[in-house]
Amino acid sequence: MRFSDNGYYIERYIKCDNCGVLLYEEGMKGEVAGEAKLFCSDWCQQWATARAAGIDEPRIPLPREGIHKTGG
């Protein structure tokens, strides 16, 4: 979610390209199948990469802190 420069209104809603959760911070930039994407977490990036590689049901272990937390 991006607030306007004066902070009075929401300028743009920014969502994870994998799961659709609203991003209140910068998110994680990545590339999947040659296309630039924005993710909420490393897990979502790994999952999208696996799907792009042709895996129908990726089995990626969930992190203890939850999937919608960025590492930084």
Range of the domain at 30: 2-52
pLDDT tens-digit series, residues 15-47? 999 999 988 888 899 999 899 999 999 999 999
58 belongs to a structural domain: no
Q: Rg of the Cα trace of the chain?
A: 14
Domain presence at residue 69: no
Q: Is residue 29 part of a domain?
A: yes
Neighbouring C-alpha atoms within 13 Å toward the C-beta of 54? 0
What sign does the CA torsion over 47, 21, 33, 72 have? negative
- Any domain includes 72: no
The answer to whether residue 7 is domain-embedded is yes
Domain presence at residue 65: no
Cβ contacts of 18-27, under 8 Å, gap ≥ 24: 18/44, 18/45, 18/47, 18/48, 19/44, 19/67, 19/68, 21/68, 25/70, 26/70, 27/70
Per-residue confidence (pLDDT) for residue 27, from 0 to 100: 87
The pTM for the full model equals 0.75
The answer to the question of residue 36 being in a domain is yes
Number of structural domains in the chain: 1
User: Is 70 inside a domain boundary?
Assistant: no
